[in-house]
Structure 1
């Protein structure tokens, strides 16, 4: 059992909105890393048939989610998903196999997308910066940050269960 690294939550609970949103999102990202810590090929273990849900699939999925909202929608870049596509919408999960190269590429992609998102959010003149999304229409940086916190919180719940199934580790 692991208790978790509580320093993830050591940021101030008061202060500016941008700093608070970035700190909470950072804590959610750190939670995903914690849930995956110390694992190799086990990251690709599936939850239960017929689901393709795995910790590695979550890392790949969240790399694509970060990429979509920050690069495509807010920055307006032509940045197709790394792991899924129109032809293979579940590629982020289906392609999560216990190959060290696949695992390394997933973490590299996720870290690249997190770094881009953090730099974009820190450099934006304000939280009302907008992008256009086919699903939601106009969205602000504020909305994207809240949505990303929601996305990570949901998937970190999945990660809790996946990790416990792998080795019994539990904690925050």
Structure 2
């Protein structure tokens, strides 16, 4: 069956196609990890080819930007995998009680802010990937002040949802920046 041609085909090619090349059958852990990997790759793709524009805001008065999403998702990865599941006593990198919107409001156009943000995101993703790889099963648990006891399974599902929602934001922001659209 051929899918009809659509306007939304800018992000095509090998990199785009690899995002959703994971298994459609198999064990639960493999499938969840593949879907989360695809969502992470989608965020990177939506931000590709941009520099100062990464900090461009969606629409006033919102502080939402692509770089803010990278910083926010670095903090989300850090919270769920490093703090809750791995039990490390760490603070979030970009937001705090004093600056709850620091992930978005601190995302400026300076190259060093973008570099720091991407490095933080990549470090948190690497820790998460390592944790998941080493986990003996999806029922590994951690404690969160908001949700109580959570399993690795719940965190993976939540992370897929978190990325998918924010990748929708990234679609609209990217289109506003340079007209680029795509799945």
Secondary structure at the aligned position of 1:109 is classed as helix
Give, in angstroms, the shift of residue 3 of structure 1. 2.8
- Is residue 2:60 matched to residue 1:49? yes
Q: Which of 86, 103, 106 is equivalent to 1:95?
A: 106
Quote the Cα distance in structure 1 between the aligned partners of 2:174 and 2:143.
36
Quote the Cα distance in structure 2 between the aligned partners of 1:3 and 1:105.
26
Residue by residue over 1:5-57, the C-alpha shift from the partner in whole angstroms, topping out at 9 and shown as x without a partner, is: 11111111011111100000000000000000000000000011110000000
Structure number with bigger Rg: 2
Comparing 8-17 with 88-97, which one deviates more in the overlay?
8-17
The aligned runs of 1:17-166 (5 Å cut-off) are 17-166=28-177
The gaps in structure 1 that reach 5 residues or longer are: none
Give, in angstroms, the shift of residue 2 of structure 1. 1.7
**RMSD of equivalent CA atoms:** 0.7
Quote the Cα distance in structure 1 between the aligned partners of 2:32 and 2:133.
11
TM-score (ref. length: structure 1): 0.99
* Runs of 4 or more consecutive aligned structure 1 residues displaced over 6 Å after TM superposition: none
- Is residue 2:10 matched to residue 1:2? yes
TM-score (ref. length: structure 2): 0.93
Quote the Cα distance in structure 1 between the aligned partners of 2:88 and 2:10.
40
Q: Counterpart of 1:170?
A: 181
